[in-house]
């Protein structure tokens, strides 16, 4: 083998690497697209879940909370709150805000109707049933 690195050798390494990583990208994309329907819980999307997600977005809940690891880390992760606390606790907690507890961060009062609370809980239930590969790493988020 030659001891010098020529332009044609560099070009071949570049093109070979480009083709290899492009094919790898396509294979990983195909794998992701084939696995997602089994993991993303799309069959459980109902009008209540859609409205609950709309409430989540329009009230900027993600500005304080995380959901499945995405969002602000100011308040607790809510990806598994339905499993941890249950629907009745979630509704009561949201209705009781702000608690004015000394030394505790305060969640605002959103004045949701009972049907809005039911839809928000439906969204959190939906999110808790997504196969997240054991995220969050601990029960309390």
Contact criterion met (CB below 8 Å) for 78 and 120: no
Q: Is the pLDDT of residue 41 over 90?
A: no
**CB neighbours (10 Å) of residue 50?**
14
**CB neighbours (10 Å) of residue 6?**
9
Token pair listed for 10:
């560099």
The separation between CA 75 and the C-alpha centre of its own chain, rounded to angstroms, equals 15
Higher-confidence residue of 69 and 120: namely 120
Give me the pLDDT at residue 141, please.
61
- CATH, domain range 42-141: 1.10.760.10
**pLDDT band of 127, cuts 50, 70, 90:** very high
Q: What predicted TM-score, i.e. pTM, was given to this entire model?
A: 0.78
Give me the pLDDT at residue 2, please.
58
pLDDT digits (tens, 9 = 90+) for 78-111: 988 999 999 999 999 999 998 888 877 888 999 9
């Amino acid at each position: 083998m030659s001891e010098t690195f020529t332009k044609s050798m560099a070009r071949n390494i570049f093109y070979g690497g480009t083709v290899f990583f492009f094919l790898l990208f396509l294979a990983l994309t195909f794998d992701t697209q084939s696995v997602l329907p089994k993991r993303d819980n799309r069959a459980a999307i109902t009008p209540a879940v859609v409205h609950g997600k709309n409430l989540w977005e329009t009230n900027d809940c993600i500005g304080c909370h995380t959901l499945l690891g995405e969002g602000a880390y100011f308040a607790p992760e809510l990806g598994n709150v339905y499993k941890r606390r249950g629907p009745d606790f979630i509704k009561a907690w949201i209705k009781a805000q702000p608690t004015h507890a000394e030394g505790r961060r305060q969640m605002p009062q959103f004045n949701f109707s009972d049907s809005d609370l039911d839809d928000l809980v439906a969204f959190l239930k939906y999110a808790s049933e997504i196969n997240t590969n054991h995220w969050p790493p601990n029960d309390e988020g």
